[in-house]
């Protein structure tokens, strides 16, 4: 790609440009990278000379739009250039976008992967150019070239979802004490996309919490589909979850038995599950359905008493951590980790910064989501972001 001088380009870049295209090509090969690339001394460069590549999985889910916007805003406010790309949940598109960020001279990469195992060659290319890679929310697996991980406590997300299911069913009280419901209560289980490392943490946390209640018969998984493979939802698609719920209702509940609750790991899936239940005649007091991400359409459903709960993960705080880590790398420092044991990506344990999560029931919407400025009261009422 032809070099076009831009305001803020380093003298180095301008001199390189003056050498002409052929010479640039030669020097690229020799010094491993166009643009600043982190092989160069980023610690002494102005933010305006540095570019951060931000690769997000999809715009079909609100949370990733919020993540992308927050990261971009925070970096731009500090003067950095940002190359933000969404991959439409398509693995080859994400690989190509990351490749392009590298060839165009990104100095740091922040990546939320679609498939956690599919970016090894891109990460090797980044490592060859000494570009630090921050895995954003979803751990990138099977590569030694993941330098840092920022996320939430994903196991605790699963524990929170299962606990919310138990509380919604009345098996437990909010304070953790035993509730009045003794069962047997029919529940069904949903998991996320198997290629997303988080899906396994969520399901493990949930199953560790639910298993004692399944073992003693308080909860009954009538379909007997209790493995993550059976419960999984490829690419976290709402329609796929709706279809599976419809199939479960037909195959396991045609004897008049009722579903009391559904473990759902993500609000989009929860909405698909709720639609399937409503189409099958459930109305009024709905089965207890959990969720994650505090998506506005689901917050409205919680407010209206249709969905039971969600797990709120404040993407603004995650974006902040990603920016802090990116700046540390640019200054050639080591970002501060608060977990150096949990996230083994198959090749190494990736130093991580994990944020806490919060369960939101109807009563918590005001304090957790409106007072914190995440959503406005009007948005909650409308079920739509402004
Ligand atoms: C994220 C969740 C999200 C899911 C689907 C997971 O990796 O951690 O917050 O609900 O992907 O987008």
Q: Whose CA is nearest to atom 3 of ligand 1?
A: 266
- pLDDT at residue 233 tops 70: yes
Higher pLDDT, 16 or 296: 296
As a whole number, mean pLDDT of residues 215-227 equals 98
Give the pLDDT score at 188: 98
Architecture of domain 154-313+360-382: 3-Layer(aba) Sandwich (3.40)
How many angstroms separate the CA atoms of 293 and 365, rounded? 13
Angle separating helix axes 21-31 and 11-18, nearest 10 degrees: 130
How many angstroms separate the CA atoms of 213 and 324, rounded? 42
Give the pLDDT score at 41: 84
Residues with C-beta less than 6 Å from any ligand 1 atom: 61, 63, 137-138, 192, 196, 198, 236, 266, 292-293, 313
Q: Which atom of ligand 1 is nearest to the CA of 58?
A: 12
- Tell me the CA–centroid distance for residue 23 and ligand 1, in Å: 45
How many angstroms separate the CA atoms of 119 and 248, rounded? 35
The best mutation among 59, 94, 196 to test binding of ligand 1, ranked by most ligand atoms within 8 Å of the C-beta, falls on 196
- Tell me the CA–centroid distance for residue 372 and ligand 1, in Å: 21
- pLDDT at residue 28 tops 80: no
Domain boundaries, the chain: 47-146+315-355, 154-313+360-382
Handedness of CA 360, 232, 216, 260 (dihedral sign): positive
Token pair for 368: 């957790």
| Fold exhibited by the domain 47-146+315-355 | Rossmann fold (3.40.50)
- Tell me the CA–centroid distance for residue 33 and ligand 1, in Å: 33
- pLDDT at residue 361 tops 80: yes
How many angstroms separate the CA atoms of 59 and 88, rounded? 7
Classify residue 369 by its DSSP letter: I
How many angstroms separate the CA atoms of 93 and 97, rounded? 6
The best mutation among 158, 293, 316 to test binding of ligand 1, ranked by most ligand atoms within 8 Å of the C-beta, falls on 293
Q: Which atom of ligand 1 is nearest to the CA of 267?
A: 10
Give the pLDDT score at 34: 39
Give the pLDDT score at 369: 98
Torsions phi, psi for 359 (to 5 deg): -85, 135
- pLDDT at residue 317 tops 80: yes
Give the pLDDT score at 76: 98
Q: How far is CA 285 from the centre of its chain?
A: 30
How many angstroms separate the CA atoms of 329 and 324, rounded? 9
- pLDDT at residue 12 tops 50: no
The two domains 47-146+315-355 and 154-313+360-382 share their CATH topology (first three levels equal)? yes
Residue pLDDT, tens place only, 124-160:
999 999 999 999 999 999 999 999 999 999 999 999 9
Q: What is the mean pLDDT of the chain?
A: 91
Q: Which atom of ligand 1 is nearest to the CA of 197?
A: 7
Q: Please report which helix (H) or strand (E) contains residue 243, including its range.
A: helix 238-252
- pLDDT at residue 194 tops 90: yes
Q: Which atom of ligand 1 is nearest to the CA of 138?
A: 7
Q: Whose CA is nearest to atom 10 of ligand 1?
A: 266
Give the pLDDT score at 37: 52
How many angstroms separate the CA atoms of 357 and 153, rounded? 7
Give the pLDDT score at 38: 52
As a whole number, mean pLDDT of residues 25-37 equals 38
- Tell me the CA–centroid distance for residue 324 and ligand 1, in Å: 22
The best mutation among 292, 295, 318, 355 to test binding of ligand 1, ranked by most ligand atoms within 8 Å of the C-beta, falls on 292
- pLDDT at residue 6 tops 90: no
Residue pLDDT, tens place only, 62-113:
899 999 999 999 999 999 999 999 999 999 999 999 999 999 999 999 999 9
Q: Whose CA is nearest to atom 9 of ligand 1?
A: 293
- Tell me the CA–centroid distance for residue 128 and ligand 1, in Å: 30
Least confident of 34-38, 210-214, 260-264: 34-38
Q: Whose CA is nearest to atom 6 of ligand 1?
A: 198
pLDDT confidence tier of residue 299, bands split at 50, 70 and 90: very high
The best mutation among 94, 155, 192 to test binding of ligand 1, ranked by most ligand atoms within 8 Å of the C-beta, falls on 192
């Amino acid at each position: 790609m032809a070099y076009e001088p831009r305001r803020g380009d380093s003298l180095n870049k301008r001199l390189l440009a003056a050498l002409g295209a052929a010479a640039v090509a030669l020097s690229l090969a020799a010094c491993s990278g166009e643009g600043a690339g982190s092989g160069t001394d980023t610690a002494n460069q102005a933010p305006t000379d540095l570019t951060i590549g931000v690769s997000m999985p999809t715009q079909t889910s609100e949370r990733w739009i919020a993540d992308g916007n927050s990261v971009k805003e925070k970096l731009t406010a500090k003067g950095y250039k940002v190359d933000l790309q969404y991959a439409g949940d398509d693995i080859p598109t994400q690989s190509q976008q990351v490749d392009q960020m590298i060839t165009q001279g990104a100095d740091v990469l922040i990546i939320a992967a679609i498939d956690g195992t599919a970016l090894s060659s891109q990460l090797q290319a980044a490592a060859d150019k000494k570009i630090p890679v921050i895995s954003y929310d979803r751990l990138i697996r099977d590569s030694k070239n993941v330098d840092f991980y920022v996320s939430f406590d994903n196991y605790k997300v699963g524990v929170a979802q299962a606990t919310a299911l138990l509380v919604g069913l009345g098996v437990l009280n909010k304070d953790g004490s035993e509730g009045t419901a003794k069962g047997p209560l029919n529940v069904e289980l949903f998991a996320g996309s198997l290629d997303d490392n988080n899906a396994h943490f969520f399901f493990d946390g949930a199953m560790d919490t639910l298993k004692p209640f399944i073992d003693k018969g308080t909860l009954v998984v009538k379909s007997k589909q209790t493995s993550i493979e059976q419960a999984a939802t490829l690419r976290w698609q709402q329609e796929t979850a709706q279809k599976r719920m419809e199939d479960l209702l037909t195959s396991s509940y045609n004897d008049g038995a009722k579903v009391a609750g559904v473990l759902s790991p993500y609000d989009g899936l929860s909405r698909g599950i709720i639609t399937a239940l409503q189409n099958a005649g459930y109305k009024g007091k709905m089965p207890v359905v959990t969720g994650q991400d505090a998506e506005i359409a689901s917050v409205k459903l919680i407010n209206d008493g249709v969905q039971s709960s969600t797990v709120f993960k404040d993407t603004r705080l995650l974006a902040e951590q990603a920016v802090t880590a990116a700046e540390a790398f640019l200054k050639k420092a080591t970002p501060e980790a608060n977990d150096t044991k949990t996230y083994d990506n198959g090749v190494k344990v990736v130093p991580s910064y994990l944020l806490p999560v919060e369960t939101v029931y109807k009563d918590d919407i005001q304090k957790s989501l409106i007072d914190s400025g995440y959503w406005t009261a009007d948005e909650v009422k409308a079920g739509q972001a402004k």
